[in-house]
Amino acid sequence: MSRLHFAQISDIHIRKDYSSGLLHDMFDSLISPDEKLIQTLQELKKEQLDFIVITGDLVHEGNEADYQHFQNILNSAELAVPVLLALGNHDRKRAFCQVFHKELKNGRYFYFHQIREWKIIVLDSAGEDHGLGEINTEQMEWLEHVCAKEDKILVFMHHPVWWEDSLLCLGENSERLRKFLSQQNIRGVFCGHVHRNSMKENGAFSQFTAESMACGFDYDENGIKVRERSGYIKAFADEAGMRVDNCFWHAKEVYEIPGNTLRNILDKKE
């Protein structure tokens, strides 16, 4: 088996203009996510990567102007490797497809990318009219069809398969997905959404969540403390398993989101 070297970036929340809109005062306290992404892509150009994947919340408001701005950043980076994109709850699928010239399958954006013997699965865990995580039945049926037990598989999506707070992980078909993945040759499941890095085991496969490129979240009973803590993952996969390195910017607390505000954001998109 050949060694695979890749990077995962997540929750970049790109906007052309951060001066208005959802949580604009939070972004006033942060280093621009655009600046962080541009610098990170330049750092990753120095690595011998096979691909880069960005696991959702590509933009913050989901409009075409922001997707065009994001595409311009990617084009300006002049990357020599594939950049795979997943969609998150802040994304708007049709606006994304309009700018990136992609097609939806019954309203969802999911696919696989083959690199040598590795099958890279990208799922769409974001519902259309809310921020909660779900893998619809059509995606599950597609996944069960395209994956063979001998495949070497990596899975990428926005929402974690499981998390301490059920509001932040998959709901629909989560048990079906977990059972299916447990029966496959899965080398890792890579997610975002929670704005903090973690590694969790369920006995059959490992789940890795990446830091947000925009800002880090620390959770408590009162809500979320937003920190100027950004990062991404660099990983190697081979016959021996996975090596995952978390790469960070500096950290400081800059903002606080009350718990009821988070719930309102996830329960219904603005």
Which residue in 50, 256, 13, 72 sits closest to 154, CA to CA? 50
pLDDT of residue 167: 80
Q: Residue ranges per domain, the chain?
A: 4-267
Determine the average pLDDT of the residues in 176-205: 90
Most confident range, picked from 36-45, 130-139, 236-245, 256-265: 36-45
CA angle, 224 as apex, 175 and 262 as ends, to 5°? 65
Phi and psi at 188, nearest 5°, equal: 175, 150
pLDDT at 116 over 90: yes
Q: What is the pTM of this model?
A: 0.90
- Whether domain 4-267 has CATH 3.40.50.1820: the reply is no
Weakest mean pLDDT among 84-88, 220-224, 236-240, 261-265 = 261-265
Radius of gyration for the alpha carbons in the chain, expressed in angstroms and rounded: 17
pLDDT of residue 270: 47
Determine the average pLDDT of the residues in 22-27: 76
Which residue in 53, 66, 54 sits closest to 22, CA to CA? 66
pLDDT digits over 53-75, tens only?
Answer: 999 999 998 899 999 999 999 99
- Listed in sequence order, the DSSP H helices in the chain are 24-28, 33-44, 64-77, 93-100, 137-146, 174-182, 259-267
pLDDT at 181 over 70: yes
Which residues are CB-contacts of 220 (< 8 A; sequence separation ≥ 6)? none
Q: What percent of the chain has pLDDT over 90?
A: 62
Determine the average pLDDT of the residues in 238-250: 85
